[in-house]
Structures are given as C-alpha cells and as structure tokens.
Structure 1
Amino acid sequence: MDTSAARRNILARIRAASGRPAEPQPGEREAVADYLERHPPGPRPDMPTDLDGIAARFIDEARLMASTVEQVESLDHVPAAAARYLAQLGAAPSAVAWATLGALPWAQAGLAVEFRKPESGDLVGITGCFCATAETGSLVLLSGPETQASMALLPETHIAVVPASRIVAGHEEAFALMRAERGELPRAVNFVSGPSRTGDIEQTIVLGAHGPYRVHVIVVRGA
C-alpha cells in the first residue's frame, strides 16, 4: 500500500499548525541547500576513496556486525549464491522477495521465490538495497510499494543483494544520494547493520531479538 499521500497530509497539517503553507516553498529548499553547503561535515574516520577499497571496507565492517558475505560477478549469479547459503543453513529452498528482483533466474537455481509482502510464516526474505555504507557495514533500505520494509524485519533470515556500485562511504553520502535521486524521503528509511540483537539481559548479546536472526549479504561486483 502506498502511504505517501497520508504522509503528505500529516506533514501538511504540521506545517499549517506552525503557520506555513502546506507544501515547502522554493525558498525553503534553497535555504536548506545553502545551510548544507555552508556547514560541511565534521571529523570522520579515514575511508578509502576508490570503489574497490570502499567495497572491501563495507565487507569487513558487515562481517564485524555478524553479517555473512559472499561476492558474485553479476546479478544473474545471485540466485545460485542464495541457494548455496540456504543449503548451508539446511533451510528449505523457498523465500519471499521484493518485486524489483523478479527478473533474476530464481527457478533455475532451484529456489521457489514469491514476490509479495511477507507474512508471519515466511522464514526467508530477500531484498535489494538503495545503497550500503562502508563505514558501518550497513544496508540502506527505502520503503515503497515494491520494496516493503517488512521484508528485512519479519523473516528469520534476511538475504540482501548489494550492487558494488551502490556502496558509499558513510551515512552522509547515503543521505546525499537520497536527496539527489529521490528528492524527498519515503515513509521509512532503515539502516540495517547485521542481525537484530539485544544486550538487555545481563549485557549478553542475543541475536534475533526483534528481527532477523541472520543477515546474508550478496555483493555483486559487476552491478
């Protein structure tokens, strides 16, 4: 369900309550752009500047966050990689996935994949990503009618497809990319840094507390 209209209505009411027009005016957007231009980011850790280095940093950081990672050469190799991972887990070769991944050869890899919103009984969810951040090994997921946020939250196992060309240095670059390509944020933006976890009980880390028990990232070098 597309909730963008409801989101606009809510924001319009908030703006009206503060005495502003329902829609942002050109001057407001220019003021934001000017502010961002005049206020550069603060100190940041050293990061690679080349694409291969950024991808390697992302893989290292993702593994530190308890994600598992496999690299493949092209998008057509993704289904076979997903099938290998599920076989290693001893899991059934079935999943639900974002509709944006529907053109990949899932059946040829022996996987039964349905392209729909996940339900409570679905154990494996497959997503793409808007981008990924090398600094923290995070996936950046934007919600939409074909990219449901629940796909990375409800199933016990989350498999994410990450084109190497969509790996950026940090959160700053991720938000800059959103502004450049989307203009405005969707209803939900999720930064996923490994499996769900909690340390509430005696500071013992437990995975799968309120989301996936495991996250497997497939980095596509040729995409």
Structure 2
Amino acid sequence: MDTSAARRNILARIRSAQGRPTAPTDAERTAADDYIARHPAGPRPELPSTPVELVARFTLETERLSTTVAEVNALTDAPAEAHRYLQSLNLGTDAVAWPSLGDLPWSAAGLDVQLRKPADADLVGITGCFCATAETGSLALLSGPGTPASGALLPQTHIAIVPASRIVAAHEDAFALMRAERGELPRAVNFVSGPSRTGDIEQTIVLGAHGPYRVHVFIVRGA
C-alpha cells in the first residue's frame, strides 16, 4: 500500500500548525542538504583517544556486558585462540565463519570451520567486525556477501575478531568511518553489544533469548 499521499498530508498539517508553508521551500531544502552533508556532532562525553586507551575502555565495557575478552598478537593467531576458547567450554571444534575469514589457518588449529551462512543446527559462529566502539563495548558489523549478518545472530556462541586498530571512540566515529570507507551503507548495519538478553519475564535477565547465549571477543594487537 502506498502511504506517500497520507504522509505528505500529515507533514503538511504539521507545517501549517507551525505557521509555515505546507511544502518545504528551496531554502529549507538547501539547509537540510547542508546539514546532512556536514554530519554535525552533538554533545559527547569525554572519551579515550589514544590506541591504548581505546583498547582498555573497549575491554572494560565488553566485560560489563558479559562478553569475555582475550588478546592475540596477530590475525593468524585467531584460529588457535578460537580453539582454546571452545575447548575450555567443551563446545567441540565445529563452527561456521564469515567467508571473508577463509584465509585463516582454521584446520591447522584443529577446527572444522565451514565458510558460509549459519543454519539452525550451527552452534558456533565466527565473525570479524567493521569496527568496534570503546564507549559502549559494541561491535559494528556490516552485511555483505562475505560478511553475512546471521553469523553473529543465529548461533548460540558468537566469536568475534576485533583488530585493535579498528576500535574507535563512539558510534559517531563508527558511522563516520563507514561513510569514509564505504560511501553508502550496506543493507544491514548491526551493533552487537554482548550476548542477547531480555528481562520481559518478571524483570529477570535471561541470556540467549533472541540471539547468542555467549559472546567471546579477541582483540588482535597487530591488526
């Protein structure tokens, strides 16, 4: 159903109540286009700025969200860390991973990793991230052929690889990085902030209600 006419009528009534013409003027359109192009930032709290401070704040915030954190020296160490983590929880060696992570030595680390979108039976999903935000301990994931969104949403356990150089201060910085590197946003942008949780039933927090039961992040110092 096309609701364009109804939307225009509602907006026209609002503008009329404000004492403005029912249709936007050229000056208003120019001002709006200028505002969007500039992306002015609103008030922000004091945030870390150095690489060491960003990693420290990100680690603190992720742990507050019930996410576990480890560090590795290089991206090629990620499979070994994933194997260690899975073995520590007796979660086996099977996993699905983003196709974009296909060059990592999964088999050499003792893991049976399938590079595809997860299915209902897949219990462990391994992803990277576009960037991460120190202020909230969140992962920013952009969907694409090699980075399916379901990799971080469907499996019970989500393992995320976070390059230290891709940790930014806040969400505003994450979106600025997206605009600078991608131009247009992809179909889905997901900010993952710890395991899925809900407090709908008697205000009792339950993990894994609508997504992963656990999230494990390892920060790659050399990436």
Please report the TM-score for the alignment, with normalisation by the length of structure 2: 0.84
List runs of 5+ in structure 2 lacking aligned partners.
9-29
Partners of 1:220 and 1:33 in 2: CA distance: 39
* Structure 1 ranges of 4+ moved more than 6 A: 30-33
1:99–1:33 CA distance, 2 compared to 1 (3 A): farther
What stretches of structure 1 of length at least 5 have no aligned partner?
Answer: 1-13, 19-29
CA distance in 2, matches of 1:83, 1:147: 21
Are 1:105 and 2:112 matched, yes or no?
no
The aligned amino acid for 1:41 is A
- In structure 2, what is the Cα distance between the partners aligned to 1:74 and 1:38? 37
Number of matched pairs: 197
1:221 corresponds to which letter in structure 2? R
**Would the alpha carbon gap of residues 205 and 144 (structure 1) be closer, same or farther in structure 2, given more than 3 Å must change?**
same
Q: Deviations over 1:152-190 (max 9, x none)?
A: 010000000000000000000000001001111101000
Distance 1:34 1:167 in 2: 29
Pairs within 5 Å for 1:173-212: 173-212=173-212
Q: Secondary structure at the match of 1:46?
A: coil
Q: CA RMSD in A?
A: 1.8
1:218 is aligned to: 218
* Residue 87 (structure 2) pairs with residue 87 (structure 1): yes
Return closer, same or farther for 1:145/1:172 CA change in 2, 3 Å cut-off. Answer: same
Query: 2:76 matched to 1:76?
Result: yes
For 1:37 and 1:136, how far apart are their aligned partners in 2?
Answer: 26
Larger radius of gyration: 2
Structure 2 counterpart of 1:71, one-letter code: E
2:90 & 2:201 partners in 1: Cα distance?
Answer: 30
CA distance in 2, matches of 1:46, 1:200: 33
- Normalised TM-score (structure 1): 0.84
Query: Which position in structure 2 is the counterpart of 1:21?
Result: none
Determine what percentage of the aligned residue pairs are the same residue.
68
**Deviation per residue, 1:8-67 (Å, 9 max, x gap):** xxxxxx8xx98xxxxxxxxxxx97773157663222221111011111100110010111
